[in-house]
Amino acid sequence: MPDLKERWFVLAKRADFAAIGKKFGIDPVTARIIRNREIIKEEEIEKYIKPDLADLYSPHLLKDMDRLIEILLEKIRLKKSIRIIGDYDIDGVQSTYILLKGITRAGGNATAAIPDRMKDGYGINEDLIRRAKADGADTMITCDNGIAAIDAIAYAKDLGMTVLVTDHHDIPYIEEQGARTYLKSRADAIVNPKQKECKYPFTGICGAVVAWKVIQALYERLEIPAEEAMEFLENAAFATVCDVMDLTDENRIIVKFGLEKMRHTKNPGLSALMCQKGVDRARLSAYHFGFVLGPCINASGRLDTASRSLKLMLSENEKDAAVLAAELSDLNEERKQMTEEGLKEAQEMILERRLYRQDVMVVYLPKLHESLAGIVAGRIREQYHHPVFVLTDSGEGIKGSGRSIERYSMYEELCKCQDLFLKFGGHPMAAGLTLLEGKLEEFERRLNENAELNEEDFIPKIHIDVPMPLSYVTQPLIEEFKMLEPFGKGNEKPVFADKNIRVKEKRVVGKNKSVAKLTLEDANGFCYPGVYFGDVLGFMEFLEEKDVISIVYYPNINSYMGKEEIEFVISAYC
């Protein structure tokens, strides 16, 4: 087994933090964190500290947006039947909801279909097209999919249908002798910020944001109040976090204000889900999107059908919404149990085959539910810090998902061996694929032959924003850190560290003995409450051998029985 103990690095980016702090009325520590996020110019700092919805980009900057709106308006005017084709994850469900509600509000005759993960697979396909045609659909509009559906869209066009694509995934290409040829379908309009000719200033938006931009532009043309389009801000924010988009630029504004909107949501489905999961609306954060509410929406697409999640979003009364929210919560609990069983099997296989010695791990679990492959891959990636593909048997053959590390662009690596796939797609950090029959061993071999990774790439790295003594932390400073939120990918929670810390008292608490409560003493003899979540047993064994430790931490304000105190949450130690 490799030693995966992480390496700590202090971010040593320079600036006059005292001057920045004085100018903007913030602590020099906060100024340093902002500089570490590559926010340097004064106008950038101002926008970061005081984000404004007015800074969102115009939907008309997206290539083909005006063309798509003209076509859509004509279809609405002629009362043509419009079929929306979404996807079974959170981004796909929220995209579908936005387009369905928005086009209907605009007077369109719209219906929606979300692919069944098991029967249909990802995105638009010939069967979905045939069904839409049989139902009398004249026009199809995709959301969170479609950019790579070259053959399926050609089929729809041959049937005489109008096809509109809204998507955010990478543009497919063929690479020959080092030269890339990007592929384009016969769709009547394609709105995707990643198109080379697109002038949109920020390419990192998710499918739901693209769909929202479509509705903004549609409402504008029909002179529907812009405030009505803003009702979808919470959906765009939800999808942005759950599709793991970088919380930078426009995304940070969307999520910051989307969270505030969802705290006062008028959507019965979202209200019921928050109630079901015991989420305090006043404390709703990006964490709740990604790890509490989001998994429930995703669970229906994994173990049942994502149509149930869409039905929740479309619920018009509290009673129906409560029933659906409970069902989704139960499905997610079932998903958790199945995931743990799959993870255990994967870990046993990795040790047995010593897969951790490979640059790219390929774990074949034929009995794993195919919808859980990506989750299991993510958990293995966290444990071993290697790119990981988890594959399983499906109706189409061997199918699976991958999760990557920063130095390995999963989508680009799949493009190098695309002759092995029935279909594939994804991002640098995640991808999905269906292998051609008999290609499993060759897939594993070629991935590892092509990988240009070294041992350093497999060592987790902790980047410390500020080495900060525990004694420096005050309650006002912790409150000030809230201006840096929302935290997530691309705008991570700040990381602090201190050394020469003694653990004076320690005890294990919690239903599953998964929390360590501590009393920490600094070099000056001052004591502070601390807490550690994680491998508590390993942590306790480490403390038996060490008198003085260094810690990576984040300070919280812990409220209990009307009393507030600063508590230091330890995330790493040595």
What are the domain boundaries of the chain?
7-11+461-573, 55-232, 354-458
Q: Which residues of 187-197 are buried (b: 16+ CB within 10 A; e: fewer)?
A: bbbbbbbbbee
Q: What are phi and psi of 149, to 5 degrees?
A: -85, 60
- Classify domain 354-458 by CATH number: 3.10.310.30
User: Rounded mean pLDDT of 125-135?
Assistant: 96
Rounded Cα distance between 84 and 142, Å, is 6
pLDDT tens-digit readout, 420-474: 998 888 778 889 999 998 999 999 999 999 999 999 999 999 999 999 999 999 9
**What CATH number does the domain located at 7-11+461-573 have?**
2.40.50.460
| pLDDT at residue 563, rounded to an integer | 84
Q: What is the C-alpha separation between 502 and 550, in angstroms, rounded?
A: 9
Question: Residue 263 contacts by C-beta under 8 Å, 6 or more apart in sequence?
Answer: 281, 282, 284
**Band of pLDDT at residue 1, cut at 50, 70 and 90:** very low
Is residue 315 pLDDT above 60, yes or no?
Answer: yes
Nearest residue to 289 (alpha-carbon basis) of 11, 421, 485, 143:
485
Alpha-carbon gap, residue 472 to 157, rounded angstroms = 65
Q: Which of 37-51, 309-323, 392-406 has the lowest mean pLDDT?
A: 392-406
Question: Does residue 394 sit in helix, strand or coil?
Answer: strand
Q: Which tokens hold the place of 22?
A: 């004085």
Report H helices in 277-359: 286-288, 294-303, 307-314, 318-353
> What's the CA dihedral at 229, 233, 236, 237 to 10 degrees?
170
Rg (CA), the chain: 25
Q: Kindly report, residue by residue over 286-307, the tens digit of the pLDDT.
A: 999 999 999 999 988 787 778 9
Tokens read off for 432: 């999905």
Is 142 strand, coil or helix?
A: strand
The mean pLDDT of the chain is 93
* pLDDT exceeds 80 at position 81: yes
In this structure, which CATH number among 3.90.1640.30, 3.40.50.300, 3.90.1150.110, 3.50.50.60 belongs to the domain 55-232? 3.90.1640.30
Q: By C-alpha distance, which of 501, 539, 486, 61 is closest to 284?
A: 486
Nearest to 163 by CA among 182, 145, 181: 145
> pLDDT at position 300, please?
85
Say yes or no to pLDDT of 547 above 80.
Answer: yes
Q: Are 103 and 214 in contact (CB under 8 A)?
A: no
| Pairwise CA distance, residues 237 & 261, whole Å | 10
pLDDT tops 50 at residue 45 = yes
Question: What pLDDT is recorded for position 4?
Answer: 56
* Mean pLDDT to the nearest integer, 134-156: 96
pTM (2 d.p.): 0.91
Contacts of 4 (CB under 8 A, 6+ apart): 383, 384, 385, 458, 459, 460
SS3 label, residue 143? strand
Beta partners for 426?
431
Helices assigned H by DSSP within 163-303: 207-222, 226-229, 233-242, 249-262, 268-276, 286-288, 294-303
CA-nearest of 427, 430, 332, 436 to 374 is: 430
State whether residue 367 is helix, strand or coil. Answer: coil
